[in-house]
Amino acid sequence: MTNPSAEKPQLLVLRPLMPAQMEQLEADFILHRYDEAEDPQALLASVAPAIRGVVTAGGLGFKRDMLSQLPALEIVSSSAVGTDSIDLVACAERGVHVTNTPDVLNDDVADLGIGLILSAFRRLGPGHDYVRSGEWSRSGMMPLATSLTGKRLGVVGLGRIGLELAQRAQALKMQIVYTGRNRKNVAYEFYDSVIELARNSDVLVLTCPGGADTRHLINAAVLDAMRPDAWLINLSRGSVVDEDALIDALQRKAIGGAGLDVFENEPHIDTRFYELDNVLLYPHHASGTVETRSAMSQLVVDNLKAHFQGKPLISPV
């Protein structure tokens, strides 16, 4: 009798999916759990020739070094929209397909952006502390906050997430302005430089992709161009911001503040951020809801199944 599992494609799991989607993978594939292995390198050495697919996620991504150890690899499926941590050039050279998870996370990431902006302008954190510390009962009204209505939201990268954010900000009666590689077919005012956008924004929000093209796009010159009360909101990648320049601007109170979901060195972020009172720090969790992570996981599974059934990929990079 033939072993039915002998026919199943073998996958290397670098990062697990949500439990329900791991079950689906277990039904259709043979999984090798690099993520759980006591000695991942030993596991890799023993299973490498059989591996046809890799499951990964943002942050970790997939590097040339691992690719070179997987001679039979056909597909890398990542549970993230960002592909900056995947060596796309190396994968293309080898003809290895890459899939990501666009669209399914747009709403949650845009919601988090609005949350950070509202929290910054209406001072939700300080307000919470003001009540809980008893300061309200001792001193009366807390200092006045800042209205969002009519303020200008400058979007750097009006892609799928940027557009969702812009729509939500419009509902809050903000004015939307943007920059990016291309002018879009939208009614929002376009600036062809990020410096001009920074000069003309009360909130500068980053929703562009990470990677070499956008590395340190937000540098000292852009931060200098920002209004002294404007906030920087980063939903993109830490690499987009020159963090030394940002920390310097924050320490000098040269800008209003920064709401950051992403950092240059996650999760071991620059500890100077902890000392600042004009930051809102979030642990790279804009897509971190049960609903969205499930949808991202499902897209990973569906792409893998499509590939191994000879069907077109759903979200190829």
* Catalytic status, residue 291: no
Q: Which is nearer to ligand 8YV, 158 or 255 (CB)?
A: 158
Q: Which is nearer to ligand 8YV, 168 or 272 (CB)?
A: 168
* Catalytic status, residue 216: no
Count Cβ atoms below 10 Å from residue 115 Cβ, excluding itself. Answer: 17
* Catalytic status, residue 284: yes
Among the listed ranges 26-34, 47-55, 80-88, 89-97, the one in contact with ligand 8YV (CB under 6 A) is: 80-88
Angle between helices 106-122 and 290-308 (to 10 degrees): 160
Closest separation in Å from C-beta 212 to ligand 8YV? 16
> Footprint of ligand 8YV on residues 282-311 (CB under 6 A)?
284, 287
Residue 271 main-chain phi, psi, to 5 deg: -70, -10
**Sole binder of ligand 8YV in the list 57, 117, 197, 226 (CB under 6 A):** 57
Does position 81 interact with ligand 8YV (CB under 6 A)? The reply is: yes
Choose the catalytic residue: 23, 266, 275, 291.
Answer: 266
**Sole binder of ligand 8YV in the list 53, 82, 159, 180 (CB under 6 A):** 82
Residue 272: exposed, middle, or buried by beta-carbon count in 10 A (0-12, 13-18, 19+)? middle
Q: Which is nearer to ligand 8YV, 161 or 255 (CB)?
A: 161
**Sole binder of ligand 8YV in the list 11, 105, 148, 300 (CB under 6 A):** 105
Site for ligand 8YV, rule CB under 6 A = 57-59, 79-82, 105, 284, 287
Active-site residue numbers? 237, 266, 284
